[in-house]
Every structure is written in structure tokens, then in C-alpha cells.
């Protein structure tokens, strides 16, 4: 079956199972207008410019921990994913659990880095541990595998789209925290720490660790950011 016919057939099947009344266009526009009225392009671009990698973080969050947790959850909920697969998962660590995680990383790195040069690595990890918390981003491979079986024509693409979904979720959380003046930095110590993390927090076998994001109060601002020339980065065709 043609892949587009496959998608159409699946979509029609889902529609048949759960029919929904079609709303008049005027009603749809009326419902949508309140949601978008306060959104301006300049607001988003200003926020995107404010989002930076902050390495010097502290534990004094500008808002309550529970609010931070809800912001992280909502950012991931609203992040788009291929076929609305919602494959992104997260482990949110605060306080002692955050410290515990970075000690796990330290223990694993000590096994692979020569002792005479480990001090530099240890200092770097101290900086990460100084943050208020961390978000560990996972992708649920059970979701990916299910989609591969359901849409065979696109089987090779679903792992790629899963990675893209994870990146979007990470960026969404990064922006959401930046909007609250919470600094973040993104790290990648997977797969070195995967087994320890799974055992410590009973992570499902199907969750694949993709990145680790620290967050906290901004103790020192990021350095000025430089940009490559537009002519090396963009092509505009009319």
C-alpha cells in the first residue's frame, strides 16, 4: 500500500471510531483568538535571544520548586512530535537527588579518566552539582517501535524523528525556564550513566537517555555569543 494511503486509512479508521462534530469556521476562530491574542513574534525572538548556556548556576531559584516542575512538565507536553507520538519522557531531580545524580556521573568518569587529569573533570562536575536541579530527557523506544510496526513505509525515519522530538522538548524546557530567569546548561553523559540511572530511579527499560539539563539561579551571565555569517547559513529562494 502507498504510504500516504496507509496514513489516510489509519486516520479514517481513527475518525470512524471517534466521530466528532465539525464546528463552524466562525466558532473555531472565536475559540482560537483568545489563545493567540497575547502572542507576538518579537516576544518569542526576545526570549530566544535570552536563552543561553549558563554554566555558573546556584540553588536559589527565583520561583518555587513546584512551579519549576510544572513549567518543565507543561513545556514537554506542548512540544510537538512526529505523528503526535509524545515519545519524550523526563526525570526531574531536585535537591539531594540532583546531587546524587552528579556523584554517579563522577564515579563513572573516574573509571575512564586518568587520575592525574581527573581534577579538571571533577571541578566541572562541581559546577553542575551546584545547580538547583536537573532534567534527564529520555525517548521511549516502545513508542518508536510501535510506530515502526504501524507505519512500515516510514520505519527507518521514526528513530530520527524521535531524536528531533527530544531536541524540541529540550529547547522548549530551556526557553520556558529562561522566561522565568532560570539558567540552564545541557550535558550528554549518556550512555555512560544509563545503567546507574535506570537502577537508581526505576526507569523503564524502554526509556533511552538522551540528555541531561541542569537548572538554577544565574550566578554569572554567559559570555557574548557570536554568529556565523548569514550567507554561510541561509539560502533564500523566491
Q: Quick one: average pLDDT of 36-61?
A: 84
Give pLDDT tens digits for 179-229: 999 999 999 999 999 999 999 999 999 999 999 999 999 999 999 999 999
Confidence of residue 10 (pLDDT cuts 50, 70, 90): very low
Q: Which of the two residues, 31 and 182, has the higher pLDDT score? A: 182
Whether 3 shows a pLDDT value over 80: the answer reads: no
Whether 36 shows a pLDDT value over 90: the answer reads: no
pLDDT value of position 42: 74
Q: HSE on the CB side for 154, CA within 13 Å?
A: 19
Domains and CATH numbers, the chain: 51-214 (3.40.109.10)
Whether 19 shows a pLDDT value over 60: the answer reads: no
Give pLDDT tens digits for 95-136: 999 999 999 999 999 999 999 999 999 999 999 999 999 999
Distances (CA, A) of 191 to 30, 53, 55, 207, 222: 48, 22, 22, 12, 28
- CB neighbour burial string for 21-60, b if at least 16 within 10 angstroms, e if fewer: eeeeeeeeeeeeeeeeeeeeeeeeeeeeeebbebbbbebe
pLDDT value of position 18: 40
Q: Quick one: average pLDDT of 153-165?
A: 98
Confidence of residue 20 (pLDDT cuts 50, 70, 90): very low
pLDDT over 90 percentage in the chain: 82
Computed over every residue of the chain, the mean pLDDT equals 88
Helix (H, G, I), strand (E, B) or coil at 208: strand
Give pLDDT tens digits for 135-152: 999 999 999 999 999 999
Indicate whether this model's pTM tops 0.85. Answer: no
Amino acid at each position: 500500500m502507498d504510504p500516504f494511503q496507509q496514513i489516510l486509512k489509519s486516520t479514517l479508521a481513527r475518525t470512524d471510531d471517534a466521530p466528532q462534530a465539525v464546528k463552524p469556521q466562525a466558532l473555531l476562530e472565536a475559540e482560537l483568538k483568545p489563545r493567540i491574542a497575547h502572542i507576538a513574534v518579537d516576544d518569542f525572538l526576545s526570549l530566544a535571544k535570552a536563552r543561553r548556556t549558563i554554566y555558573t548556576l546556584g540553588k536559589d531559584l527565583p520561583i518555587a520548586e513546584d512551579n519549576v516542575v510544572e513549567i518543565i512538565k507543561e513545556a514537554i507536553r506542548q512540544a510537538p512530535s512526529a505523528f503526535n507520538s509524545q515519545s519524550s519522557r523526563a526525570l526531574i531531580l531536585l535537591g539531594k537527588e540532583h546531587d546524587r545524580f552528579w556523584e554517579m556521573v563522577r564515579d563513572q568518569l573516574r573509571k575512564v579518566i586518568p587520575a592525574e587529569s581527573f581534577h579538571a573533570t571533577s571541578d566541572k562536575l562541581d559546577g553542575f552539582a551546584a545547580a538547583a536541579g536537573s532534567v534527564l530527557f529520555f525517548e521511549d523506544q516502545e513508542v518508536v517501535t510501535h510506530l515502526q510496526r504501524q507505519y512500515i513505509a516510514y520505519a527507518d525515519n521514526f528513530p530520527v524523528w524521535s531524536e528531533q522530538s527530544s531536541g524540541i522538548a529540550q529547547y522548549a524546557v530551556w526557553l520556558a525556564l529562561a522566561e522565568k530567569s532560570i539558567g540552564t546548561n545541557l550535558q550528554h553523559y549518556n550512555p555512560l550513566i544509563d545503567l546507574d540511572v535506570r537502577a537508581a530511579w526505576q526507569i523503564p527499560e524502554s526509556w533511552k537517555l538522551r540528555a541531561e539539563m541542569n537548572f538554577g539561579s544565574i550566578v554569572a551571565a554567559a559570555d557574548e555569543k557570536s554568529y556565523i555569517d548569514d550567507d554561510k547559513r541561509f539560502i533564500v529562494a523566491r
